[in-house]
Amino acid sequence: MIKVVQAYDGALITEVPSDDANALEAKLTTARRTFLDRDGWLAPHERIAILHRLADLLAGKVDHFAKLIAREGGKPLTDAKAEAVRAVDGVRNGADELRNFGGREIPMGLTPASMRRMAFTIKEPIGVVAAISAFNHPLNLIVHQVVPAIAVGCPVIVKPASSTPLSCIEFVGLVREAGLPAAWCQTFLPEHTALAEALVTDSRVAFLSFIGSAAVGWRLRSKLAPGTRCALEHGGAAPVIVDRSADLDLTIPSLVKGGYYHAGQVCVSTQRIYVHNAIKAEFVARFTKAVKALKVGDPTLPTTEVGPLILPKEADRVMAWIEEAKAAGAEMTTGGERISERVVGPTVLVEPPADVRISREEVFGPVTCIYGFDKVETAIQSANSLPLAFQASIYTQDLNFALQVAPRLDGSAVMINDHTAFRVDWMPFAGHRHSGYGIGGIPWTMREMTHEKMMVFKS
């Protein structure tokens, strides 16, 4: 049995049965047999109808899922409800995308050898999908992995994070209630991590969708069976450049949200803020005041803005990184206290040295760092100096500054006057370099989970 506890205080919520090696074999056999039975494939209109019913069922349980997300994952209730609402839209997004999801014509007759021919492609499901998910968005990440598979017709075996399995289990229950036969979507809760690796490296798996740590993701990719494709979504240490022209009345609330949303446990959470020295003192004072005002505590309360870290050992790690930065000369303007076993106070560090861990690695906790600059080239160089590259931001009222800096920041997306954690579910979402491989976002994942088959007709 797997014990599921509240992220805030460790109180037991429930226990769920785990899967052993025999269960894994049965699930893989079922998924592969289902895919090979072409006569049993669901037509696009059937998949659309199932997704519409699923969206309606999920919409009726938004408040229930919000409370569940807050309890098992520790996300503040207001943000948890926003996640549940997003999940409903994500399901609808998968159904909508099918209306325009198809192949393309391949031109013929361009050479004498290609005369009297017509060619086009069709999209086919790639095969069995193994989906490994993370704890920080325990419903919406599952939607991003499962819904594309349902939409394109791939059997999927989904493994939620062991600390937050309940949202996944209940969502899959709704999938079946919506009419999808059980063989097309199965949960997998392994009794030990070796079984998770056995799932993704099995030759019957055609596609791996992995959301989690870079160390695990890249290692799993190196062990995939020949021909297995994958998409990896890891983390970053998102940089922000604040120009001297930035409107601080708008910039500071935005960056507080981007840095402390879900206690910083977001792969694109704002972590490194580079501020022009002409406004740095004012920025630090006003930003610190706003962070101090954040309401920290029980995530199930509607007034809470910052909740716990997912495990006590993560709070241990974040505190150690803060202490390392302070010992190396960083100024701490607020935070740095251990409020409880799992809760770390929102922390602001000014000018931590470049060689401390909090300047080099993803903190995944409620900490932001502020660095001053005189020349924007220096800020760009520092922002791009890490092997991590995901989303970045610029705050400015100078259009020329934005046009100059945005193309030079590494990453898959640059937000102008918005924080680094902005995302809508139909946009491409991808980490570069160590931060990931492949493209997320529901329509984009649907493309990743299919291949194109070409047909050539000769008259």
**β pairing state of 105-106 and 436-437:** unpaired
Q: Name all contacts of 87-90 with Cβ < 8 Å and 24+ positions apart.
A: 87/58, 87/139, 87/140, 87/143, 87/171, 88/55, 88/58, 88/59, 88/62, 89/425, 90/140, 90/143, 90/144, 90/147, 90/425, 90/442
Provide the token pair at 299: 């995530």
**Between helices 62-73 and 44-59, what is the axis angle to 10°?**
80
Q: Residue 67's CB: how many other CB atoms inside 10 A?
A: 16
Instruction: Please state, in angstroms and rounded to a whole number, the distance separating the CA atoms of residues 294 and 263.
Output: 11
What DSSP element (H or E) covers 51?
Answer: helix 44-59
Residues 6+ apart with CB under 8 A from 24: 188, 190, 195, 198, 199
Residues 6+ apart with CB under 8 A from 192: none
Instruction: Please state, in angstroms and rounded to a whole number, the distance separating the CA atoms of residues 353 and 182.
Output: 53
Residues 6+ apart with CB under 8 A from 11: 5
Q: Residue 245's CB: how many other CB atoms inside 10 A?
A: 14
For the chain, the maximum distance between any two Cα atoms, rounded to a whole number of angstroms, is 77
Is 2 strand, coil or helix? Answer: strand
Q: Which among 373, 362, 344 has a CA at the least distance from the CA of 283?
A: 373
- Does residue 267 carry a catalytic annotation? yes
- Does residue 168 carry a catalytic annotation? no
Q: Which of 72, 83, 233, 362 is catalytic?
A: 233
Provide the token pair at 123: 């999209």
Provide the token pair at 400: 């020329």
Q: Which of 154, 168, 185, 267 is catalytic?
A: 267
Alpha-helical (H) ranges within 261-352 are: 277-292, 312-327
Active site amino acids: 233, 267
